[in-house]
């Protein structure tokens, strides 16, 4: 099996967390169970959801998750990809798994998860898919093109 190539989100987030919390994060590839993932995002964009589901947008890239000493697994990047897999009957997903012995980092993730979940942490299947742009509107098409441009820039 080939190792996961470093993802900019993974690298940037890891560097930020290591600086802020003064801990070293270990990184490896693993399959994670979708049912145990805790969301750190309040909603999923419908335009992005449709790109992932219908056109495979970033579908081949692993999501990024964090698991600390308290055992909870938080999504750092990849909510939309995880939700599409969940909605299509998948129960596991490939992930870059970041780990640390820092309880402080676990507490911070739990705080974020509760804040974006309206007072309680949400599992991936509970995160609402929202259309704030209006499907087919000019703003929707602009956002779709922006996502595709970002993808092409990542591939260079």
pLDDT at 57: 92
pLDDT at 150: 84
Residue 92 domain-assigned (yes or no): yes
Q: Which domain holds residue 73?
A: 8-155
Residue 115 domain-assigned (yes or no): yes
User: Whose structure tokens read 């441009």?
Assistant: 149
Residue 44 domain-assigned (yes or no): yes
Q: By CB neighbour count within 10 A (0-12 exposed, 13-18 middle, 19+ buried), where does 25 fall?
A: buried
Please provide the size of the chain in residues: 156
Residue 3 domain-assigned (yes or no): no
pLDDT at 52: 96
pLDDT at 4: 46
Q: Which of 57, 40, 42, 43 is nearest to 131 (CA)?
A: 43
Q: How many CA atoms lie within 13 A of 60 on its CB side?
A: 4
Q: How do residues 124-145 score in pLDDT, each as one tens digit?
A: 999 999 999 999 999 999 999 9
36-72 burial code (b ≥16 CB/10 A, e <16)? ebbbbbeebbbbbbbbbbeeebbeebbbbbbbbeeeb
Domain CATH for 47 = 3.90.1530.10
Write down the H helix ranges in the chain.
8-21, 46-55, 79-87, 103-116, 138-155
pLDDT at 1: 40
Q: pTM for the whole thing?
A: 0.88
Residue 1 domain-assigned (yes or no): no
Q: What is the count of structural domains for the chain?
A: 1
47 — phi, psi (to 5°)? -60, -40
């Amino acid at each position: 099996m080939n190792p996961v190539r470093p993802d900019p989100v993974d690298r940037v987030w890891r560097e930020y967390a290591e600086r802020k919390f003064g801990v070293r994060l270990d990184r490896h590839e693993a399959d994670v169970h979708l049912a145990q993932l805790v969301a750190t995002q309040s909603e999923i964009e419908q335009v992005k959801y449709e790109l992932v589901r219908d056109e495979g947008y970033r579908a081949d890239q692993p999501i990024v998750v964090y698991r600390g000493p308290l055992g909870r697994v938080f999504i750092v990047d990849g909510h939309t990809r995880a939700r599409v897999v969940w909605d299509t009957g998948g129960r596991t997903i490939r992930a870059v798994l970041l780990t640390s012995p820092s309880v402080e980092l676990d507490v911070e993730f739990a705080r974020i998860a509760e804040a974006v979940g309206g007072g309680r942490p949400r599992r991936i299947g509970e995160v609402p898919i929202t259309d704030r742009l209006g499907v087919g509107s000019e703003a929707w098409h602009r956002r779709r093109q922006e996502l595709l441009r970002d993808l092409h820039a990542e591939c260079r």
